[in-house]
């Protein structure tokens, strides 16, 4: 072999062994399912972007075990290895890189980047895992209508958890729920702390606290023994760890978002801006529901539809629309919401419960947009239909139209689907179409009710619809208990009477000083009323 060929071969070997190899070092606050999925998403995304471990990527993951001192040691060790990018998964791990201003840092699954001082440097960016808290409270209230006290386990050393509690407390007060806090400084505290708080709450909520999430199996086991459901904001923690429900971001997708950012830096692109989850998901655990004897409600669209009607009507009046026209548009808006629930259930085969909760969840954002981003919109100084006589005439007209409608062939087919789907199908009724039309009609009427309520009260509020399911149930049950008649018009009238009696009973209970009840006891009173009506109906059935 000639000298020239040997030299060429040596040069090729030299350049091959010195080819660029990106170095990404990941400091993870703790090992638990959610953050493990985040890291997996990062690795998968980098691989798809052309950065493969063992080929052109050196990647290492170390866990700080929720210890800030250990996180700082890991960060110091990483800096000495001169990485292209360091990644902090979790707040404590991300903060451990703050003392190195020239380091390119990408964080992931950090709830409050601003509160954690991660927004002050041009060399720091990442993906937050924060999602709005009010939809999570609404989800919990929908599953537990009589919720009065909710407990939260948190580590005071985690900035993300402290931030969540500050935001959660006023939201809980707004819907009449008391928030109880229980601190845990390490996983060894979980058993004792969980046992203690489970004795004085109706439910537990774990929201992005890494210490609590690392011991979630223990928390759910203790809570289930005490008949207390656990709700979480990490969807990866539901089935495997025994939580009842989760509403939050998919942590794997959060990891993939983070991976996209890291790949941009490795390709010498500009530091991207901070991002938030692109979508949220809802998971329900039927096995846990059965273990706790909790019946998950069927259609929860109505909670969102009620507020949608209120928001639509008030917003239109604010834009100088006629109040009567705003009622008609509110009905159409509610009907669209009900139609969407029906399509998800009948054509996309989403379960009736999940379809209702998904639409109600989406309506929260829609309602905020309808009100121009404001949580509350008033009618002060604007013309509204607040005359009791006018409202009574409108409601009476709607009831009359419904009575006529239900007597037609269409109305009878619609009622038959509600009574017995199998028999209705044998008579040639198209179940899927009738179900969608029934949901559209019912949610249109609920939205109409919300619009009337808002015009009468003079404002619309984004949380106005919370508890609509249980209030409607109580009113209907009271009305049906008062009548033996099978005639439709009589039953409808008594449902209206039931709603009036329900409101009178609530008002009487709250204004009876000897009972010692206050406004925040509304859910308790409602629950007791429903139980009393159920017992009364059973007693009546026995005598019949």
Tokens of 300: 């929860």
Q: Looking at the predicted structure, is the pLDDT value of residue 321 above 70?
A: yes
Q: What local confidence, expressed as pLDDT, does residue 14 receive? A: 43
Does residue 442 sit in the same domain as residue 511?
no
In a domain, 167, yes or no: yes
Q: Are residues 461 and 507 in the same domain?
A: no
Mean pLDDT estimate for the chain: 83
Q: Answer whether residue 9 is part of any domain.
A: no
Helices marked H in 296-351: 301-318, 323-346
Same domain, 268 and 212: no
Residue 6 has pLDDT above 80, yes or no: no
What whole-number distance in Å separates Cα of residue 373 and Cα of residue 365? 9
Domain presence at residue 238: no
Instruction: Check residues 266 and 475 and name the one with the higher pLDDT.
Output: 266
The pLDDT assigned to 28 comes to 95
Residue with token string 């969980």: 194
Tens digit of pLDDT for each residue in 469-490? 767 777 777 777 777 666 777 8
Judge whether 404 lies within some domain. Answer: no
Q: Which of 91-95, 185-189, 349-353 has the highest mean pLDDT?
A: 91-95
**Contact at 8 Å (CB) between 97 and 103?**
yes
415 inside domain:
no
pLDDT, position 254: 93
Name the band, by pLDDT with cuts 50, 70 and 90, for residue 299.
low
Contact between 149 and 529 under an 8 Å Cβ cutoff? The reply is: no
Q: What is the pLDDT of residue 297?
A: 57
> Are both 56 and 127 inside the same structural domain?
yes
Instruction: Average the pLDDT over each of 7-16, 347-356, 492-501 and give the range with the smallest value.
Output: 7-16
Three-class SS of residue 512? coil
How many distinct structural domains can be found in the chain?
4
Confidence of residue 16 (pLDDT cuts 50, 70, 90): very low
Q: Can you give the residue range of the structural domain that contains 48?
A: 20-131+250-283
Phi, psi of 172 (to 5 degrees): -65, -45
Which is more confident, 410 or 543?
A: 410
Determine which helix (DSSP H) or strand (DSSP E) holds 149, and give its type and residue range: strand 149-154
CATH number for the domain including 71?
3.40.50.2300
**What are the pLDDT digits (tens) for 105-139?**
999 999 899 988 999 889 999 999 888 888 888 88
| Claim to verify: residue 321 and residue 341 sit in the same structural domain | yes
Same domain, 143 and 228: yes
Q: Find the range with the poorest average confidence among 10-19, 328-337, 414-423.
A: 10-19
In this predicted model, what pLDDT tens digit does every residue of 401-456 receive, in sequence order? 888 888 888 888 887 787 667 667 766 788 889 989 989 998 998 899 889 888 88
Of 53-57, 277-281, 292-296, 497-501, the poorest mean pLDDT is in 292-296
Find out whether 448 and 334 touch, Cβ atoms under 8 Å.
yes
Cα separation, 206 vs 213, in Å, equals: 7
Shared-domain flag, residues 303 and 359: yes
Is residue 7's pLDDT more than 60?
Answer: no
| Residue 126 and residue 152 in one domain | no
- Shared domain for 89 and 50, answered yes or no, is yes
Reading across the β-sheet that carries 22-28, which strands appear in turn? 57-63, 22-28, 85-89, 105-110, 124-128
Residue 435 lies in a domain: yes
Q: Are residue 352 and residue 444 in the same domain, yes or no? A: yes
Last residue of a domain, one of 466, 493, 528: 466
Q: Does residue 398 form part of some domain? A: no
Q: What is the DSSP string of 31-51?
A: --HHHHHHHHHHHHHHHHTT-
- Whether 37 and 121 map to the same domain: the answer is yes
Residue 375: name the closest of 448, 444, 459, 306 by CA: 459
């Amino acid at each position: 072999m000639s000298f020239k060929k040997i030299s060429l071969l040596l040069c090729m070997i030299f350049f091959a062994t010195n080819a660029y190899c990106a170095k990404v070092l990941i400091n993870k606050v703790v090992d638990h399912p959610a953050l493990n999925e985040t890291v997996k998403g990062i690795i998968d995304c980098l691989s798809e972007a052309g950065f493969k471990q063992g080929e052109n990527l050196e990647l290492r993951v170390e866990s700080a075990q929720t210890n800030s001192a250990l996180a700082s040691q890991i960060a110091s060790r990483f800096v000495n290895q001169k990485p292209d990018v360091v990644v902090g998964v979790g707040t404590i791990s991300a903060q451990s890189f703050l003392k190195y201003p020239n380091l390119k840092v990408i964080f992931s699954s950090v709830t409050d980047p601003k509160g954690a001082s991660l927004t002050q440097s041009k060399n720091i960016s990442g993906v937050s895992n924060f999602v709005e808290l009010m939809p999570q409270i609404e989800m919990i209230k929908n599953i537990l209508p009589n919720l009065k006290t909710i407990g939260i386990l948190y580590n005071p050393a985690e900035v993300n958890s402290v931030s969540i509690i500050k935001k959660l407390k006023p939201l809980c007060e707004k819907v009449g729920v008391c928030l109880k806090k229980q601190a845990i400084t390490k996983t060894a505290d979980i058993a004792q702390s969980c046992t203690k708080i489970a004795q004085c709450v109706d439910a537990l909520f774990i929201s992005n606290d890494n210490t609590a999430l690392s011991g979630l199996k223990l928390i759910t086991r203790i809570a289930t023994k005490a008949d207390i459901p656990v709700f979480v904001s990490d969807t990866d923690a539901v089935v495997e760890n025994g939580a009842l429900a989760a509403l939050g971001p998919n942590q794997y997708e959060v990891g993939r978002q983070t991976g996209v950012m890291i790949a941009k830096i490795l390709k010498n692109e500009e530091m991207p801006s901070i991002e938030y989850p692109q979508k949220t998901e809802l998971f329900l655990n039927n096995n846990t529901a059965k273990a706790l004897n909790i019946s998950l409600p069927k259609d929860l669209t109505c909670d969102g539809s009620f507020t949608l009607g209120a928001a639509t009507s008030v917003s239109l009046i604010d834009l100088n629309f006629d109040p009567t026209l705003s009622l008609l548009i509110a009905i159409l808006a509610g009907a669209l919401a009900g139609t969407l629930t029906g399509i998800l259930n009948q054509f996309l085969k989403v379960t009736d419960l999940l379809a209702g909760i998904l639409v109600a969840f989406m309506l929260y954002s829609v309602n905020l947009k309808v009100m121009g981003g404001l949580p509350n919109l008033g009618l002060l100084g604007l013309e509204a239909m607040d005359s009791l006589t006018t409202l009574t005439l409108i409601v009476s007209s709607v009831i009359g139209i419904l009575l006529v409608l239900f007597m037609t062939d269409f109305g009878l087919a619609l009622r038959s689907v509600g009574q017995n789907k199998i028999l209705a199908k044998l008579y040639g009724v198209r179940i899927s179409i009738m179900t969608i039309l029934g949901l559209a009609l019912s949610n249109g009427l609920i939205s109409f009710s919300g619009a009337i309520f808002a015009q009468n009260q003079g404002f619309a509020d984004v949380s106005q619809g919370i508890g609509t399911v249980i209030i409607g149930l109580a009113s209907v049950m009271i009305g049906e208990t008062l009548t033996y008649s099978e005639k439709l018009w009589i039953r409808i009238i008594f449902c209206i009477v039931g709603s009036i009696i329900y409101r009178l009973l609530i008002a009487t209970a709250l204004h009876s000083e000897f009972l010692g009840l206050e406004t925040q006891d509304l859910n308790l009173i409602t629950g007791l009323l429903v139980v009393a009506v159920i017992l009364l109906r059973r007693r009546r059935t026995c005598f019949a």
